[in-house]
Amino acid sequence: MTDRTTYVTVAGLRGRGWSDAMIGELLGQADVQGRDPRRWALAPVRLYLLARVEAVERTPEFLGSAATAGRGSAAAGAGAERRRRAVLAAIRAEPIEVPRLPAAELERRAVRHRHLLGARGPGGVTAGAMVRWQVGYLRHALSRYDTLLDGLYGDTGRAEAERLLRRRVYEAIAAAYPHLAHECGRRMEVER
């Protein structure tokens, strides 16, 4: 068995600033390869001799590769930031058009939507429940605006963009149906 204090795993190399390409180019084959005794995994563990890693880290080739990798990640970060700003601007600029329905039709659609979701309740519906159902139905009817979030796949800014979109949708519902404004405000607080 090898002494793991004298070896570095691929994850350890990444933590030291190595990219996969740098590992392949500058270190080549692993010094030791085998199964990890601490956990079962299909993939073998690649271990690199720490002394060799430290020696390569002092070379001009490593320093040049690390600088290039840093610029690449900075460029990727700048691109992600541009996408985030563009999506936020699109959300702010997009007019949210709420369907205008007579009160009886909105209630009918809200109840139908609630039943389609599989919710069943007691025969009588309270006024508070009906308001919640109506806001839920209208939010669902406006879900087409969720496509404005495309391009933010878990990137920084996705949560911010989702909050902004939700707030804009609830504000549009409240403006179109003033009797639903309190519930829209409550949801904006809860869904922060």
3-state DSSP call for residue 77?
helix
CB atoms within 10 A of CB 148: 19
Distance CA 113, CA 138 (A): 10
Quick one: DSSP state of residue 100?
-
What is the rounded average pLDDT of the residues 106-115? 91
| Prediction pTM value | 0.56
**pLDDT digits over 8-22, tens only?**
888 888 888 888 888
Distance CA 143, CA 100 (A): 16
Query: Cα torsion for 76, 82, 87, 93, to the nearest 10°?
Result: 180
- State how far the alpha carbon of 101 is from the alpha carbons of 34, 104, 137, 157, 182, in Å: 67, 8, 12, 34, 19
pLDDT score at 30: 87
